Amino acid sequence: MRRLDKAFQAFFRRVKAGEKPGYPRFRGVNWFDTVDFPKDGDGCRWDSTPHDPVTRVRLQGVGHVRVHQHRPVKGHVKTVSIKREGRQWYVVLACDNVPAEPLPATGAVTGIDVGVTHFLTTSEGAHVENPRHGKRNAEALADAQRALKAFPRRKRADRSAKHRRAVEKVGNLHRKVRRQRTDHAHKAALALVRDYDQIAHERLNIANMVRTPKPKPDPETPGSFLPNGAASKAGLNRSILDAGWGVFLGILAQKAESAARVLIPVDPRNTSRTCPKCQHVDSENRDGEKFQCTSCQHINHADRVGAWNVALRAGLVLPDVA
């Protein structure tokens, strides 16, 4: 009702202003997947039956709904959202005054390099593998998408039960990948936060990384183009998105804040091609997984060099990498 009211308010405002507004259009049941209640107690009530051991949420117009609560609520419930994912429904709570849970100091510091072959590498040289859930589930997803595409247009339009099931299957597989990805990110982030007081990481600009390279016109033959690395970049882009770095760094930041750990973002330029020993910068220094300085001949694992340089820039370690 609030969304409808907002749409009409905007419509009448435009009418009055003499503009040509479009009449608010009907939004069917599948249009929205969330309902937000900006304040607990206004249209909804979290834990509406506090004396009952079963947790319920009361929603205006729906009634008391039983909730499978997966962990205790900390702090004070501020907003409540109801979210639909396929056939599942979720209650999402945002809380105020959540007590921090600082972890005891370990005296250890590290730098991390996030990559495609390894999900991340620490400056001590420990790797966390990249699970590549997207790749692993790609076959099942491709099958489901093929099955969905096989529906004739007419049947797609009349939303037959078979078609609906095919749509659900694709959605379920996407959700599965997303859940696996966040689960992996949570575990990797928790391990780091438990082990280190200070963690340096590259300041990532994902939006930049996934941008398609500009077309490179061929000066010899006008109208044609030289290879611009778009194809190889497209592959890398997919892997970047697959690894879900942005998600990971967000989760790491949350956990670090709660545990009173320090995250230090550093300038990511040339971290993979700078020699951590003599600071010589050369793209020839790196060859796949192997790093060999063209100046001082220092040899190391390329990802570890990246992580060491990150820690170095944050002032956490000295240049004498082992």
Q: How far is the CB of 298 from Zn ion (least distance, A)?
A: 5
- Based on CB atoms, which residue is closest to Zn ion, 245 or 308? 308
Distances (CA, A) of 316 to 262, 267, 276: 12, 14, 13
Q: Kindly give the pairing relationship between strand 44-46 and strand 56-59.
A: antiparallel
Nearer of residues 58 and 298 to Zn ion, judged by Cβ: 298
Residue 132 or 298: the one with the smaller Cβ distance to Zn ion is: 298
- Least distance to Zn ion, CB of residue 296, Å: 3
Distance from C-alpha of 3 to C-alpha of 19, rounded to nearest angstrom: 21
Residue 295 CB, nearest distance to Zn ion (Å)?
Answer: 5
Identify which of residues 133 and 273 has a Cβ nearer to Zn ion in the complex: 273
CB of 313 to Zn ion, least distance (A): 16
Of the pair 114, 310, the CB lying nearest Zn ion is at: 310
Residues facing residue 290 across a β-bridge: 287, 301
Instruction: Considering the complex, state which of residue 44 and residue 275 has its C-beta at the smaller distance from Zn ion.
Output: 275
Between the alpha carbon of residue 100 and those of residues 157, 197, 255, 258, 260, the distances in Å are 51, 15, 10, 5, 8
What single-letter amino acid sits at 22? G
User: Which residue type is seen at 179?
Assistant: R
Nearest distance from residue 307's CB to Zn ion, in Å? Answer: 17
Continuous H helices in the chain: 2-16, 133-149, 153-157, 161-195, 206-209, 230-243, 245-258, 302-313
Residue located via tokens 């308010």: 9
Residue ranges binding Zn ion (CB under 5 A): 275, 277-278, 280, 293, 295-296, 298
Q: How far is the CB of 292 from Zn ion (least distance, A)?
A: 9
